[in-house]
Amino acid sequence: MLLRHTLPALLACATLTLLPAAGAQASPADTVDTKVTVGPAVKAPVSKKAVPFCESHKCIALTFDDGPSANTTKLLATLKKYKAKATFFVMGSQVKKHPVLTKNIAKGGHEVGNHTWSHPWLTDLSSGEIYKEINETQKVIKKATGKTPTLFRAPGGLTDEDVNAVAAKLKLIQIPGTVSTKDYVKDYRNVEFLTTAALEVAGPGEVILMHETVKETVDSMPKVLATLQKQGYFFVTVSKLLEGQKLVPGESYPQRSVDEVDDGDELSGPGGEV
């Protein structure tokens, strides 16, 4: 009987001992913090500078000079079929005759570069004449495409200090090309030869110089594109190929360049098609 009366009293005393006194502040140990603190969002690490596409892929730049021409539309269709991009170095006089073709080149996602107005050997001209040849071509390309070119290729690959100075003044990068199929040599103009030539000179980072005015070059493109595509190549514009590099107007890139005038006696010469 004594245990029955004393047990409730003992429990009551124990409870009073555990509770804080009325009006007293509870210590941090006496309370539970239910407040949730949210830290800053954690972002996935992002590279400050994206790696240029062609530093991690097998890229090659196909370039076609002297257009637009009667072969442009066929060439554009072939490039589209193989999802290939290219750079067209056009002549101002041809752009004036074929503004729609020039516009179609740009609409196809290809790059349009400057190849002078009338295809003279610029090293034979005065600074003023060089400026007129290049600047008038800049204007007519801008009118046809809505965009001012940033790339320039001198006919025959012939440049000197005057040419470099004019190119720099017009904020143009010079692109001589690194290899060539030599389709400017008349005796080489057959599809089989030019197909073989293109495949032999192809390599990662190369800028292949060709001419869209040469029908056999255009006819060789399906096999060239299909073969190189199977080898893992990506066909890109020159600007895409050079992406990430510091380019100085007036200078030539890539640094290694083809000498187009090796067979100078086979070229048609100033004002000619090639």
Mind telling me the catalytic residues?
Answer: 65, 211
C-alpha angle with apex 197: 196 to 202, nearest 5 degrees?
100
CA 170 from chain centre, in angstroms, equals 20
C-alpha angle with apex 115: 171 to 131, nearest 5 degrees?
55
Q: Three-state secondary structure along 143-169?
A: HHHCCCCCEECCHHHCCCHHHHHHHHH
DSSP state of 252: B
Q: Which of 55, 60, 56 is nearest to 204 (CA)?
A: 60
- The beta-strand segments (E) located in the chain are 59-65, 86-90, 111-114, 151-152, 173-174, 179-180, 207-211, 234-235
The backbone region for 174, taken as left when phi is positive above 0, alpha when psi lies in -120 to 50, beta otherwise, is beta
d(CA 185, CA 264): 9
DSSP, collapsed to helix, strand or coil, labels residue 175 as coil
d(CA 133, CA 155): 11
Query: Buried (b) or exposed (e) across 73-87, using 16+ Cβ within 10 A?
Result: eebbebbeeeebbbb
